[in-house]
Amino acid sequence: MLVGGVFNTVLGALWHGPLSGRAWLRATGEPSEEIKSDAAMYVLPLPAGLVEGYVLAVMIVGLGILVWWQGTFIGAFQWLGIGAIGVLTVGTFEDSPRSA
């Protein structure tokens, strides 16, 4: 669970930074000077990732999953059914440009 929370935080920082930060800024349509960066952007993802890891662990134990690939499947299924749908819904109602 702790590893999952830290991984979530590190991957998020890399994703919105060196990996795709410029593309993300272009997609938002805002100049980089208007993007406000504060400590909460780097601190809040860790407890959120810990909660997410705990919930996934409870699901895996509750379902009696003992094989790594089954746990991976449940994690991907949870992401698709809850995470991706939530992001899609919020993104649909945001007033942001649609670009690749």
pLDDT above 60 (res 4): yes
pLDDT above 60 (res 41): yes
Q: Where are the domains of the chain?
A: 2-93
CA–centroid distance for 86 within its chain: 11
What does the mean pLDDT of the chain come to? 80
Contact 42, 61 (CB under 8 A): no
pLDDT tens string 51-98: 888 888 898 899 999 998 998 898 888 888 888 887 777 777 766 555
pLDDT bracket for residue 14 (50, 70, 90):
confident
Q: Does 93 or 8 have the greater pLDDT score? A: 8
